[in-house]
Amino acid sequence: MAEKAVKLTHSQLKRLAILDASQEEFMVNGFAGASMDRIAQRANVSKRTVYNHFPSKEVLFEATTSDLWARTKEAATLAFNPEQSLESQLQHIARRCWELYQQPDFLRVARVVMAEFIRSPIQATEAMERLAKQEGGLEAWLAGAVAHKALKIDNIPLAATQFWGMFKAFAFWPKLFHMKNHDEYQQDIIDANIRMFLAMYRA
């Protein structure tokens, strides 16, 4: 039996419209120059409606950041399966994340957030701390692999950072800064990164 599509309420639709409008406003004017009035205009809602959902510009930007992290975590989340090879599971995670990094709307929001983090290191630090507290992501898969003695890792956050460092150097950062696109070499890059990672951490 097919699942029924979830119908959003009028309030939820307005909230999404405000978030979309805020992303555009932040992208054009930055956080400091963004205006709640213009966000209301872009979302075609009243200023009171904006404040009913988001009490301040800071809360609205935090929601934008949290949404970005949630999408990243979701793409990288996979329950460890001892019946499947390490390679196939890491391939699955890597391909899902590469696909996410190809989405124009994701990159647009990422550029807004990264630009603001450069202006405000304290805000960036706080956002990273919130991200670290979210469940899921590659860290959860690595913990599962260690628990099943498939991987030997003493420092899971460090190992996850190493994996993403190799991966994002080709899949994310060039796209973020409008540099060379490596999509045509996607599979070769993923394969090489996984081989190097497992050469270090396979039990």
User: What confidence tier does 2 reach under pLDDT thresholds 50, 70, 90?
Assistant: very low
Q: What is the pLDDT of residue 3?
A: 44
Query: What is the residue type of 121?
Result: P
Residue 5 has pLDDT above 80, yes or no: no
User: What confidence tier does 132 reach under pLDDT thresholds 50, 70, 90?
Assistant: low
Integer Cα distance of 18 and 33 in angstroms: 17
Q: What is the pLDDT of residue 135?
A: 64
Q: Which pLDDT tens digit goes with each residue over 160-181? A: 999 999 999 999 999 999 998 9
Integer Cα distance of 20 and 37 in angstroms: 14
Question: Is the sign of the CA dihedral 122, 125, 127, 130 positive or negative?
Answer: negative
- 159-192 in b/e form (b: 16+ CB < 10 A) is bbebbbebbbebbbebbeeeeeeeeeebeebbee
Integer Cα distance of 170 and 182 in angstroms: 6
User: What confidence tier does 4 reach under pLDDT thresholds 50, 70, 90?
Assistant: very low
Average pLDDT over residues 180-186: 93
